[in-house]
Structure formats: structure tokens, C-alpha cells
A and B are shown apart, each in its own frame.
Chain A
Amino acid sequence: GEDVEQSLFLSVREGDSSVINCTYTDSSSTYLYWYKQEPGAGLQLLTYIFSNMDMKQDQRLTVLLNKKDKHLSLRIADTQTGDSAIYFCAESRGAAGNKLTFGGGTRVLVKP
């Protein structure tokens, strides 16, 4: 995952907004993804954005994409204790985009 970079840790108070940032390198990616990993479990797709979009909103989640700077962010509004998890950004690569390259993951801790 060295080509996709994220900060390691984020601490946030319950009810505040969380912003997780990611930089990527492959400008040909069709989609960019955010996956969530809860403790002791595998990853689940949380949301994604098509590469020709700047923003996507899905309930409490807002994804922003800056293609010029190759920067992706995930904002979680009104963060809840259930949002405590590791969040991975990922870009698709390879033939037909069938491989994902993941960042190192950002551990989000929500404090009451």
C-alpha cells in the first residue's frame, strides 16, 4: 500500500465531524473507495466515488475528490461510537481495475 497514503490515527469526540484524508498515485483509477474494518472483522465497502465526480454525499458521509492533487477525503458528520474502526482508502488498478491497492488505514477512535 505504499502508493496510497493515509494518516495512522484520528481521535474525535462523539457528535463532532471526522475527516480522514488520503493521497493516491494512479490517475487512471475509475473509482476510489473507502472501506471500513470493525474490530476482529474483514473489510466492508463503506462508500466510493467515480473519478469524474468532485463530491459524493451519502447520509452522514461526504467524499471529496481532488483529482489535480490526487487527494481523497472522507467526512463523517455527527460521529458516533459505532464509527470507531479502521478506515482504508483504496484505488483500483490492473486489467479492468480488478485489483485494489489499499492505504495503510486510519484508526478512528470516537470518545464519548
Chain B
Amino acid sequence: NAGVTQTPKFQVLKTGQSMTLQCAQDMNHNSMYWYRQDPGMGLRLIYYSASEGTTDKGEVPNGYNVSRLNKREFSLRLESAAPSQTSVYFCASREDRVLNEQFFGPGTRLTVL
């Protein structure tokens, strides 16, 4: 099992460009998450999906959109990138049980110039 995979690993964008971050999991999990990690601020939830076909906003959704394409894949799109979106982005998934053990991908380091 590959677990949670993310592409790309690194990306540099200019202000105003768009891009999509891809995430896939092979653990048959229903719930998937997108976080951003900034120094000293921990991880902040951008969007999550409790099941295929559903998505909900997290703590910092502005400037982002998501698509839960199927059970395996959950993508994050930046329509018009801004320097404030420079961050490390993590995707995660979890089983449906009371213990919230989330499995994280390796992250995408995004720089917006």
C-alpha cells in the first residue's frame, strides 16, 4: 500500500496563476482532508470531505476550491494564487471510527512569487 500520495512535491507559481494539487489514498477511507502548515501556526484545515460527493469548509477556505473526484482522490485548486498562499500543503485521510487517526501524505511545498 502506498498510503496517501501527493503531487507535485514542489511548485513555484507567479501571483495570479492557477494550479491543482492532487491527493490520492489507497486505504479505502471515507474521510479526506486538506491542511496548510505555516511556521508556528501548526496545521490549519482548509477543506475536508466526509465521503465521496461531499465537501465542507474548514478554518481557512478562502482562495481554495476542492473536488472529491471519487473515494480515492481529493484535489485542491488555487484559482488565482497569492503570496499569502505560500505554504506547505498536506492531504490526509482517516477511517470512520471514533479515534481520529489521520494518515498524512508527504506534503507539497508551494511558493507564490
Contact = CB atoms under 8 A, between A and B. Distances in A.
25 contacts: A8-B40, A30-B98, A40-B107, A42-B104, A42-B106, A43-B90, A43-B104, A48-B99, A48-B101, A92-B100, A97-B98, A97-B100, A98-B31, A98-B48, A98-B50, A99-B58, A99-B100, A100-B45, A101-B45, A102-B42, A102-B44, A104-B41, A104-B42, A105-B40, A105-B42
Interface of B: 4, 31, 40-45, 48, 50, 58, 90, 92, 94, 98-102, 104-107
A45 interface: yes
A105 B90 CA distance: 15
B24 to A, nearest CB: 14
A45 to B, nearest CB: 5
A103 B42 contact: yes
Given A43-B43, A97-B100, 19 more contacts: A30-B98, A41-B104, A41-B106, A43-B92, A43-B104, A44-B104, A45-B101, A48-B99, A48-B101, A92-B100, A96-B98, A98-B94, A99-B45, A99-B58, A100-B45, A100-B102, A104-B42, A105-B40, A105-B42
